[in-house]
Amino acid sequence: MKVFVAALAFAVVAAVGVAMVLNTLQEPSSVAFSTSGARVGDPGHNLIGPG
């Protein structure tokens, strides 16, 4: 049981860690794939926004 719980905990920690690293390395698509002239002020929290 300890091994199972440890595996679950590691999976969660690893997933959160990867999310933090990727979010640090990558730009939001609303910034990466548009020029400054085409950017809207607040892209919102949908799939293209920063959320």
Partner 1 sequence: MPSSLSNFRAICAAVALLFAFAHPAAAQLSFKPTAEAVHEDKLLNALKEGDKITGRISIPDKMASSLIQPAGRDWRDFHRGKLPIIGGVAILGMLALLAIFLMVRGRIRIHRGFSGKTILRFASFERFTHWLTASCFIILALSGLNVSFGRTLILPLFGAEAFATMSAWAKLAHNYLAFPFMLGLVIMFLTWIKDNIPGKLDLEWIKQGGGILFQGKHPPARRFNAGQKGIFWIVIIGGALMSVSGWFLIFPYLPGNVTVLQVWTVIHAVVAMLFIAAMLAHIYIGSIGMEGAFDAMGTGEVDLNWAKEHHSLWVEEEQAKADAPPDRTPRAVPAE
Q: Please answer whether residues 10 and 16 qualify as being in contact, where contact means their C-beta atoms are separated by less than 8 angstroms.
A: no
4 binds partner 1 (CB under 8 A): yes
Binding mask 29-48 for partner 1 (x = CB under 8 A): ---xxxx--x----------
Q: Please answer whether residues 30 and 39 qualify as being in contact, where contact means their C-beta atoms are separated by less than 8 angstroms.
A: yes
Q: Please answer whether residues 50 and 30 qualify as being in contact, where contact means their C-beta atoms are separated by less than 8 angstroms.
A: yes
25 binds partner 1 (CB under 8 A): no
* Interacting residues toward partner 1 by CB under 8 A: 3-4, 6-8, 10-11, 14-16, 18-19, 32-35, 38
